Amino acid sequence: MSGIVIRKVEREDVEKLHWALTQLSKDIDDDHAADADDLLRHGFGEKPAFFALLAEERIDGAVVGALMASPLFSTTNAGAGLYVSDLWVAASKRGTGLGKRLLAAALETGTADWTVRFLELAVYRDNSKARAFYDRLGFSQFTDEIFLTLKGPALDNLRKTP
Ligand SMILES: CC(C)(COP(=O)(O)OP(=O)(O)OC[C@H]1O[C@@H](n2cnc3c(N)ncnc32)[C@H](O)[C@@H]1OP(=O)(O)O)[C@@H](O)C(=O)NCCC(=O)NCCS
């Protein structure tokens, strides 16, 4: 039996989730604006924007990994998939198969009415270790599409469109 348990995050775990995501941001030197209330509001209401998993030591419940993902639909892939927005494994557990286990567990989580046909995620260009991990799992890079985002004042402008 593995010494690490993976389980879905519930409302009462939100502080633990927030802690794990903070570690991820530190490890990859990312901005971290979201607080625990943001996670509560967006992940645990009637229509959650994401689900999350925690990996914990069986013996004492210490958090050693986390994943956050949201469903999306693709006509190209003829089905539903998951956008993995966050994946983190504690430094002491890296290379033990936990990252792969978290991704595999996500495929089975919150999908009673649909099947995950693909995974999508973004990785920073300078994160060569994570890139090697994704390569090893068989992820491939979009070559003919460019990843775009709209936020801040540009998004506010769009929202004002009558
Ligand atoms: C990236 C990360 C999630 C990978 O998780 P992990 O638990 O270390 O990876 P695993 O042990 O599950 O590895 C799965 C496979 O990938 C390979 N792999 C993992 N890291 C690798 C690396 N740096 N180089 C080459 N292969 C690697 C493993 O050897 C394993 O291969 P196998 O199945 O043939 O044995 C983890 O290292 C991490 O949290 N890094 C810091 C945060 C981060 O960068 N997150 C991703 C942001 S996009």
Residue-wise pLDDT for 136-156, tens only, equals: 999 999 999 999 999 999 999
Tell me the two tokens of residue 135: 């390569």
- pLDDT tens profile 67-103: 999 999 999 999 999 999 999 999 999 999 999 999 9
CATH number of 30's domain:
3.40.630.30
30 lines ligand 1 (CB under 6 A): no
Owning domain of residue 86: 4-159
Number of structural domains (the chain) is 1
89 lines ligand 1 (CB under 6 A): yes
Q: Could you tell me the distance, in angstroms and rounded to a whole number, from the CA of residue 45 to the centre of ligand 1?
A: 32
Mutate to test the pocket of ligand 1, among 26, 94, 96 (most ligand atoms within 8 A of CB): 94
> Which 3 state secondary structure label does DSSP give 53?
strand
- Looking at residue 49, the DSSP 8-state letter turns out to be S
* Nearest atom in ligand 1 to 88's CA: 39
Find the length of the chain. Answer: 162
Band of residue 5 on the pLDDT scale cut at 50, 70, 90: very high
Ligand 1 atom 20 nearest Cα: 133
98 lines ligand 1 (CB under 6 A): yes
Task: Give me the amino acid identity at 111.
Answer: T
**Lowest-pLDDT range of 17-21, 60-64, 73-77, 106-110:** 106-110
